[in-house]
Amino acid sequence: MKEIDDLTIPDLRFAQDHEWAKLEDGRVRVGISDYAQDQLGDVVYVELPQAGETFEQGAVFGTVESVKAVSELYMPVGGRILAVNEKLEGAPELVNTDPYGDGWMIVVEPADLRQLDALMNSAQYLAVLKG
């Protein structure tokens, strides 16, 4: 298990359920944090929605499956799915090896960008992890 100080926590927005959200030209890219992938262990399967589907903030948009457990993925911001990371179908381990990069999961067209501002910043997220 990584020590808190060994976790990578880049300057992104974070939801309570350990998804990260990154603003890119008015769109929001979403994945799960280094802490989340470390806790889950080997990710062996990621179930993602279809592009075009719409979800509310906090709604389940997919699941991430480790050898041991299946966990829900929650929308950090509501909106329409513009893209999903097709690479994860053949290489789900990217969630473990590069959670903030090639392990991204969806790109969302946000319904209300203010939802993004209401998420935690990296310092607040780190404080939550430290308990």
The distance of closest approach from Cβ of residue 88 to other proteins in the complex, given in angstroms and rounded to an integer, is 14
Q: Identify the three-state secondary structure at position 87.
A: helix
Pick 67 or 113: Cβ nearer other proteins: 67
96: left (phi over 0), alpha (psi -120 to 50) or beta: alpha
The C-alpha atoms of residue 127 and residue 100 are separated, in whole angstroms, by 19
* Shorter beta-carbon distance to other proteins: residue 51 or 70: 70
Distance of closest approach, residue 13 Cβ to other proteins, in angstroms: 16
Q: Which is nearer to other proteins, 28 or 32 (by Cβ)?
A: 32
The footprint of other proteins (CB under 8 A) covers 1-2, 16-18, 32-33, 35-36, 38-42, 44-45, 47, 60, 63-74, 96, 128
